[in-house]
Structure 1
Amino acid sequence: MATFHLRTDTTHATWNRDQRPAIHVSPGDVVTLDILDSSDGQVHPDSTVDTVANLDFGRVNPVTGPVFVDGAQPGDALVITVMAVDVADWGWTANIPGFGLLSDAFPEPHLRISQITAGYAQMLPGIRVPICPFIGTIGLAPEIPGDHPLVPPTVQGGNMDVRHVTAHSRLWLPVAVPGALLSVGDTHAAQGDGEVAGTAIETSGQVTLKIDVKKKLALKSPELETDPRSHRQGPAWVTTGIGPDLFRAARQAVEHMIERLARELRLAPDDAYLLLSAAGDLKISEIVDAPNWVVSMHLPTHLWD
């Protein structure tokens, strides 16, 4: 087993099967990757909403890599054991105009900077979000030639924002090109299921991965084994959206929680929206009782107790 370290001078801004590898590794090797935050350093601890309004989207979501894995071929699966995810001592959460589940209801930029210490992110006055660092973007090069955007996830992974890709989890990704070409980015300190406002607690970080290959395991999409510590516990407030349209029901569940937070905690709606993106979990609670489905938004009450 060999060990490698990739720094942020190996980042790139698109998926491309012809991207030049930053390193070559063998199955069983361990790679540590330094990760830039999803703004590519455009947001700073002293940033204002003007920074959000003027983001250069051509720089958003940079990834470190790619890593060429010897022996990986189309039809195989890359098996990635996440050994560690470490994040910086601050992060940011923003409402970016035109982005997010309720983008029509929140058209103005909004920004909150969190200080991260002792296992918590101080996101709003009196509200601390427990951190659970994870990898937002981890994926392989696509089969189709040319540049492909980093933000939408694909069957090769990418910007999945599954908050359970934490230390001690194991991820399987379907290989589409020789060498797989693994790249990683978008570390988060915490996120709610759904990332409803479009951002989590975004931060720079460092991840350590052990990389293996499972031959002739033709997966149709990524698969994951989670660490139990990545699941939230304890009492929560829950609001619901009910109807025949899952997307509309999801919006309703979030809208109703924003209303509750305004009523019970006197939070401004835009702050409540960002809090739900960082710490609220959007779940499909029922999808069998036609014609109406139930989507629920869960928010742990220990955030402010």
Structure 2
Amino acid sequence: MCSNCGGHTIHGRHHHFGWDHAIPPVATVAPGGHMHFECIDASGGQLNRDSTSADLATLSFDKINPVTGPVYVDGAQPGDVLKITIEAFTPSGWGWTANIPGFGLLADQFPDGALHIWDYDPHVTAPALYGDVARVPLKPFAGTIGLAPAEAGTHSVVPPRRMGGNMDIRDLSAGTTLYLPVEVEGALFSIGDTHAAQGDGEVCGTAIESPMNVALTLDLIKDQPLAFPRFTTEGPVTRHIDRKGYEVTTGIGPDLMTGARDALSAMIDLICTTHKMDPVQAYMLCSVCGDLRISEIVDMPNWVVSFYLPRVVFE
């Protein structure tokens, strides 16, 4: 963990699987307080370094995407904004990426489960090997980071919400400041679903799902209502993948979702042809390092979606 940051530690055993403002907080922090969170992997410990694709058949979705917390921020009230300064990640050195049947942008094309277990250097986060073909640059971040909703009851942790949650924004990395709208007294902050790397879109439904610890500061901004999350980065966000350029495929048509699927399918075909990779392995590689982008959305009736794959992964 970030040994110089000080502050509370919230251990991984203090986790939950849904957003609910009735969940008792595990700690209270004053605005400006430094915190450390131990985050377990997105399978909730159901997968490990020795797991195989056969283990996906017994995966319980009731234990997916655990988040550590909640933490009560003293003085936070509905209408305030919680300011989260993300300071550091301490990765574990291992992770997993899976094609889970029924999940992902191309679930209809990839009905069978597949699993890749990653090993990487947790101290320097050098690119992680993907078989003997590719090396994926790493950029640790938290996929799920949010607050409790005002609406009563337990709400699934899978979809993102206006108070954050499972946003899977890879730029919520060290140095980023995130702002979330507070809906309940104390804000009730939780974090989890830590990733070692992910492409924009997380197209197969999983990234490099990796347990790790997070150091951050929680602060409060009073009386500045915020409709949806926003964040500020400290500098360029793609230095880890930019230096060799990109291969880019496109999808063009009147529907953005169809365009995204077409652009991704074309990239998978290109990888398979160029690098002789199995299609499902190419699909998972796209999820951990390729980016979906809306290139054009004004020239009706057709829009352009592009898929960018960094060439550095094949150097």
Could you tell me which residue of structure 2 aligns to residue 147 of structure 1? 154
**Equivalent of 1:158 in 152, 165, 178:** 165
1:34-60 C-alpha deviation (Å, 9 max, x unpaired) = 000000111111111111122110000
Could you tell me which residue of structure 2 aligns to residue 83 of structure 1? 87
Could you tell me which residue of structure 2 aligns to residue 5 of structure 1? 9
- Please say if residues 28 and 212 of structure 1, whose CA atoms lie closer than 8 Å, have aligned partners that are also in contact: yes
Could you tell me which residue of structure 2 aligns to residue 259 of structure 1? 269
Query: Could you state the TM-score of these two structures normalised by the residue count of structure 2?
Result: 0.95
Gaps of 5+ in 2: none
> What SS does structure 2 have at the residue aligned with 1:85?
strand
**Equivalent of 1:190 in 174, 194, 197:** 197
Paired residue type of 1:233: D
> What SS does structure 2 have at the residue aligned with 1:72?
coil
> What SS does structure 2 have at the residue aligned with 1:37?
coil
- Please say if residues 166 and 227 of structure 1, whose CA atoms lie closer than 8 Å, have aligned partners that are also in contact: no
- Please say if residues 200 and 277 of structure 1, whose CA atoms lie closer than 8 Å, have aligned partners that are also in contact: yes
Identity of aligned residues (%): 48
> What SS does structure 2 have at the residue aligned with 1:212?
strand
- Please say if residues 85 and 135 of structure 1, whose CA atoms lie closer than 8 Å, have aligned partners that are also in contact: no
4+ residue runs over 6 A deviation: none
Taking the aligned partners of 2:224 and 2:89, their CA distance within structure 1 comes to 27
Could you tell me which residue of structure 2 aligns to residue 219 of structure 1? 226
Shift of 1:2: 7.0
Could you tell me which residue of structure 1 aligns to residue 249 of structure 2? 239
- Please say if residues 136 and 313 of structure 2, whose CA atoms lie closer than 8 Å, have aligned partners that are also in contact: yes
1:185-223 C-alpha deviation (Å, 9 max, x unpaired) = 000000000000000000100001111101111111100
- Please say if residues 32 and 207 of structure 1, whose CA atoms lie closer than 8 Å, have aligned partners that are also in contact: yes
Taking the aligned partners of 1:61 and 1:24, their CA distance within structure 2 comes to 23
Could you tell me which residue of structure 2 aligns to residue 180 of structure 1? 187
Paired residue type of 1:16: D
Taking the aligned partners of 1:181 and 1:68, their CA distance within structure 2 comes to 5
- Please say if residues 99 and 113 of structure 2, whose CA atoms lie closer than 8 Å, have aligned partners that are also in contact: yes
Taking the aligned partners of 2:275 and 2:166, their CA distance within structure 1 comes to 33
Shift of 1:227: 3.3
**Equivalent of 1:291 in 295, 301, 304:** 301
Query: Could you state the TM-score of these two structures normalised by the residue count of structure 1?
Result: 0.98
> What SS does structure 1 have at the residue aligned with 2:13?
helix
1:14-43 C-alpha deviation (Å, 9 max, x unpaired) = 110111000000001000000000001111
> What SS does structure 1 have at the residue aligned with 2:155?
coil
Taking the aligned partners of 1:68 and 1:111, their CA distance within structure 2 comes to 37
Taking the aligned partners of 2:234 and 2:258, their CA distance within structure 1 comes to 31
Could you tell me which residue of structure 1 aligns to residue 102 of structure 2? 98
Taking the aligned partners of 2:74 and 2:20, their CA distance within structure 1 comes to 18
Aligned Cα root-mean-square deviation (Å): 1.1
Taking the aligned partners of 1:11 and 1:289, their CA distance within structure 2 comes to 46
- Please say if residues 2 and 29 of structure 1, whose CA atoms lie closer than 8 Å, have aligned partners that are also in contact: no
- Please say if residues 242 and 312 of structure 2, whose CA atoms lie closer than 8 Å, have aligned partners that are also in contact: no
**Equivalent of 2:174 in 167, 182, 189:** 167
- Please say if residues 133 and 275 of structure 2, whose CA atoms lie closer than 8 Å, have aligned partners that are also in contact: no
> Size of the alignment, in residue pairs?
305
Gaps of 5+ in 1: none
- Please say if residues 68 and 180 of structure 1, whose CA atoms lie closer than 8 Å, have aligned partners that are also in contact: yes
